[in-house]
Amino acid sequence: MPRLSRRRLLSQTARLISCTAIMGGFSTRAAWSQPVVPNEQRAMLSLSTLVRDLFPHDALADSFYVKVAGIVQPGLTGKEKEYATFAAALDQDAGGSWRQLDPAMRGEILAEHQDDPFFAILRDTARATLYVQPEVWALIGYGGNALAQGGYLNRGFNDIDWLEGNK
């Protein structure tokens, strides 16, 4: 059984507190459980599904991806026509609504479109939005900027507890 060091206990406690605080801000009701969805909301849900499929993390709730899509959408201003064309191509390849497919099928269809110019724009915009948020860092296990926290020398660069089992 692995030992629970003071550092690991504090780290896990901080993650738990961060996750609880972050998830407390989100609605417990899934965003797409709404019975009637106007076109703008439908586009936002499609965008959130795209972001989730591009950057899937089990630790991030669907409502978080809706929030990220809301941040990404203004970054796509002026590219609405390209987005509509891209979304229409996904739906055409799906033989209906791309968003209604299971994640594996959506991933296959997205892979076929990875050379589309809009795909790169969407991927880069979503990545820049998603991974600069400290809330995400806590949920996916990234410790943050090491330099701002004293560098790796003071943050356990030499912690090799995982080697103890191989002696």
Per-residue model confidence as pLDDT tens digits over 46-84: 889 999 999 999 888 888 888 889 888 888 888 888 888
Quote helix, strand, coil % in the chain, to nearest 5. Answer: 65, 0, 35
Distance from CA of residue 164 to its chain's centroid? Answer: 33
- Both tokens assigned to 43: 């586009």
Query: Which amino acid is residue 96, in one-letter code?
Result: G
- Both tokens assigned to 124: 């880069």
Query: Which amino acid is residue 79, in one-letter code?
Result: K
Looking up tokens 């724009």, which residue turns up? 121
- Where do runs of H (alpha helix) occur along 25-79? 39-54, 62-75
72-129 pLDDT per residue, tens: 888 888 888 888 899 899 999 999 888 899 999 999 999 999 999 889 988 998 998 8
